[in-house]
């Protein structure tokens, strides 16, 4: 089972290292061919407008959407979350609109450009997650199919999940936090080797998310 880390720009090395430390085969993804046999994908933090351009330029958009639509797990951190959002408030058109949330880039404000916080993330257990925020997006709206996995004290969501798509406004990989990647690897293993009767790619009608239904058809 292989996990691909989109390696066009930003903090991809940290994700590759972390996954490898967990014993997962992790490969950098720059071209569609790099997604061959990949069962899960990480979209790292960095600069979402640059990554967005490079995703288009290297033809990664449709293959990434296809993989997610088939049910492969996708994990986006910070800029990666922006790329996965269905709506970017006052911003670019969405790129991989798999997550029914609206995000606003760099919206925590100047004094909060970067900050760290211990968060409760019940799906990951009792131990809090040490979250590092760097010019992070704010999630302004969460759709009905989206589960909020963690919130700041003021109630704003900062980690979300919609079926096979997980996103955090912060960087777990910069704080030695491994549980999100562990979850991703577990989901990727289940996707790679589904149980009886649930063969991978045998269910073209199985949809990853509502957003992916129109994805890949060139409608956006």
**Residue numbers annotated as active site:** 78, 171, 173
Query: Residue 171 in 3-state DSSP?
Result: coil
Among 30, 53, 130, 135, binds ligand GLN (CB under 6 A): 135
x/- mask, ligand GLN, residues 64-83, rule CB under 6 A, reads --------------xx--x-
Q: Which is nearer to ligand GLN, 108 or 191 (CB)?
A: 108
Size, binding site for ligand GLN by CB under 6 A: 11
Retrieve residue 218's tokens.
């060139």
- Counting contacts by CB under 6 A, is residue 134 touching ligand GLN? yes
Q: Which is nearer to ligand GLN, 65 or 82 (CB)?
A: 82
User: CB of residue 82 vs ligand GLN: minimum separation in angstroms?
Assistant: 5
User: CB of residue 110 vs ligand GLN: minimum separation in angstroms?
Assistant: 13
- Counting contacts by CB under 6 A, is residue 169 touching ligand GLN? no
Retrieve residue 101's tokens.
């949330």
Q: Which is nearer to ligand GLN, 79 or 146 (CB)?
A: 79
Query: Residue 144 in 3-state DSSP?
Result: coil
User: CB of residue 4 vs ligand GLN: minimum separation in angstroms?
Assistant: 18
- Return the exposure string of 166-200: e unless at least 16 CB atoms fall within 10 Å of the residue's CB, then b: bbbbbbbbbeebbebbebbbebbbbbbeeeeeeee
Query: Residue 126 in 3-state DSSP?
Result: coil
* CA angle (88 as vertex; 83, 92 as ends), nearest 5: 80
User: In Å, how far are 59, 80, 86, 155, 194 from 18, measured between CA atoms?
Assistant: 26, 17, 28, 29, 25
Among 25, 54, 106, 151, binds ligand GLN (CB under 6 A): 106
x/- mask, ligand GLN, residues 18-47, rule CB under 6 A, reads ---------------------------xxx
- Residues in CB range of 22: below 8 A, 6 or more apart: 178, 181, 182, 185
- Cα–Cα distance measured from residue 206 to residue 69, given in angstroms and rounded to the nearest whole number: 8
User: CB of residue 102 vs ligand GLN: minimum separation in angstroms?
Assistant: 14
- Counting contacts by CB under 6 A, is residue 190 touching ligand GLN? no
Q: Which residues bind ligand GLN (CB under 6 A)?
A: 45-48, 78-79, 82, 105-106, 134-135
């Amino acid at each position: 089972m292989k996990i691909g880390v989109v390696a066009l720009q930003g903090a991809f090395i940290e994700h590759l290292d972390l996954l490898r430390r967990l014993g997962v085969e992790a490969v950098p993804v720059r071209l569609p061919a790099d997604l061959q046999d990949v069962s899960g994908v990480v979209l790292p933090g960095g600069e979402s407008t640059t990554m967005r351009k490079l995703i288009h330029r290297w033809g990664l958009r449709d293959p990434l959407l296809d993989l997610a639509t088939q049910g492969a797990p996708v994990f986006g951190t910070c800029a990666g979350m922006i790329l996965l959002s269905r709506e970017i408030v006052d911003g670019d058109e969405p790129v991989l609109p798999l997550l029914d949330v609206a995000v606003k880039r760099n919206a925590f404000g100047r004094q909060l450009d970067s900050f760290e916080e211990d968060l409760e993330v019940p799906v990951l257990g009792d131990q809090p997650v040490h979250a590092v925020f760097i010019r992070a997006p704010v999630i302004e709206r969460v759709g009905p199919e989206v589960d909020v996995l963690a919130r700041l004290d003021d109630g704003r969501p900062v980690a979300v999940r919609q079926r096979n798509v997980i996103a955090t406004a912060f960087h777990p990989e910069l704080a030695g936090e491994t549980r999100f990647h562990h979850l991703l690897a577990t989901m990727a293993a289940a996707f790679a080797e589904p149980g009886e009767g649930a063969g991978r790619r045998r269910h073209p009608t199985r949809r990853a998310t509502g957003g992916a239904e129109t994805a890949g058809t060139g409608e956006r």
